[in-house]
Structure 1
Amino acid sequence: MKKLKVTDQSLCMNCLACEWACSTAFYKDRAYGHDLSCIKVDVKDNGDLKTKVCVQCGKCAKNCEAGAISQNPKGVYMINKKLCTNCGKCVEVCPFGLIVKAEDKDSPSKCIACGICAKACPMDILEIVES
């Protein structure tokens, strides 16, 4: 299974380059959007950082009534925009809040393990792995 992995959370400096790269890749807009990134760097109550990445759990696919989300041969769950009815159930059920939806788009976006965020990370703490 192909997925994104955080290799060393302690090195994250909260620059948000990963979020910017992801949102720009999906939405082709140079304007930064934390809400439109499929990777999130959150600050916990104690001040520690937590980088949340899609673990390809499939909860989104199981709850998609239109059958628009399926697993590709590499184990990555993909959204078929032609089948998506924009109901938002996948956004609601994602346990990490990583499926995002722009108001002006017909379907949500989720991590496809493309590696754009990993390439953008100046601390080199993200990688695409096969598990």
Structure 2
Amino acid sequence: MKKLFVKKDVPCMACLECVRACSTAFYKEFHQDKACLKIVERNGKVRPMTCVQCGKCAAACEHGAITQNPKTGVYMVNKKLCVGCGKCVEACPFGVMLQVAGAPAASKCIACGICVKACPMEVLEIRES
């Protein structure tokens, strides 16, 4: 399964370049609330919070709009089936599932790697799990 991982021993400097890359790629503007990853502080350390592809969003979707790609293992939102109810957002234990105001469908990390390429500290990586 393809996943976005946060490297354990690499410090994040909270520059938000990963957030910028994600929100700009998907919503054409830099906005922290429009990125499929968040920068959080825990125990005095700043770290990216990313989708772990747990599938809780898919289980919460009553319309079958979120399915797992059988080849990559990544959960994806079918924008044609999504009604924008937000139940997937509520179900996400990491707060990285998005329902952006004005957008007709929810969105989530698809492990595209754009954030990985943008990170100057190389904190993020895409790998098979």
TM over 0.5: yes
| Residue pair 1:9, 1:51 contacting (<8 A) in 2 also | no
1:87 equivalenced with 2:76 (yes/no): no
| Residue pair 1:23, 1:34 contacting (<8 A) in 2 also | yes
| Residue pair 2:3, 2:127 contacting (<8 A) in 1 also | yes
Question: Hey, what does 2:121 align to over in structure 1?
Answer: 123
- Identity %, equivalent residues: 60
Q: Which residue of 28, 31, 34 maps to 1:33?
A: 31
Amino acid at match of 2:18: C
1:28 Cα offset (Å): 1.6
TM-score, normalised relative to structure 1: 0.93
Amino acid at match of 1:19: V
Question: Hey, what does 2:55 align to over in structure 1?
Answer: 58
Length, aligned pairs only: 128
| Residue pair 2:41, 2:47 contacting (<8 A) in 1 also | yes
**Alpha-carbon separation, structure 1, partners of 2:97 and 2:86:** 9
1:48 equivalenced with 2:45 (yes/no): yes
Which moves more between the two structures, 70-79 or 47-56? 47-56
| Residue pair 1:42, 1:51 contacting (<8 A) in 2 also | yes
Amino acid at match of 2:86: G
| Residue pair 2:10, 2:121 contacting (<8 A) in 1 also | no
TM-score, normalised relative to structure 2: 0.94
Q: Which runs of 5+ in 1 are unaligned?
A: none
Q: Which runs of 5+ in 2 are unaligned?
A: none
Moved over 6 A (4+): none
1:48 Cα offset (Å): 1.6
**Alpha-carbon separation, structure 1, partners of 2:9 and 2:90:** 26
1:11 Cα offset (Å): 1.6
1:10 Cα offset (Å): 4.2
Distance 1:65 1:9, change over 3 A: farther
For the residue of structure 1 that corresponds to 2:122, the secondary structure is coil
